[in-house]
Structure 1
Amino acid sequence: MTDKDKEKDALIFVIQKHHAKNLHYDLRLEMDGVLKSWAIPKEPPTVEGIKRLAIQVDDHDLDYADFEGTIPEGSYGAGKVEIWDRGTFEPESVKEKKIVFSLSGEKMKGKFVLVKTNFGKYENDWLFFKKKE
Structure 2
Amino acid sequence: MESTLTVQQVAARTGLSPHTIRYYERIGLIPSVERAANGHRRYSASDIGWIEFLKCLRSTGMPLAEMQRYVALQQMGDLTIADRLALLETHRDRLQAQIQQLYSFLEKIEEKIRCYRSQYLEGEKK
Instruction: Specify the TM-score bucket, using the shorter chain as the normaliser.
Output: under 0.3
TM-score by length of 1: 0.21
TM-score by length of 2: 0.21
Higher helix share goes to which structure?
2
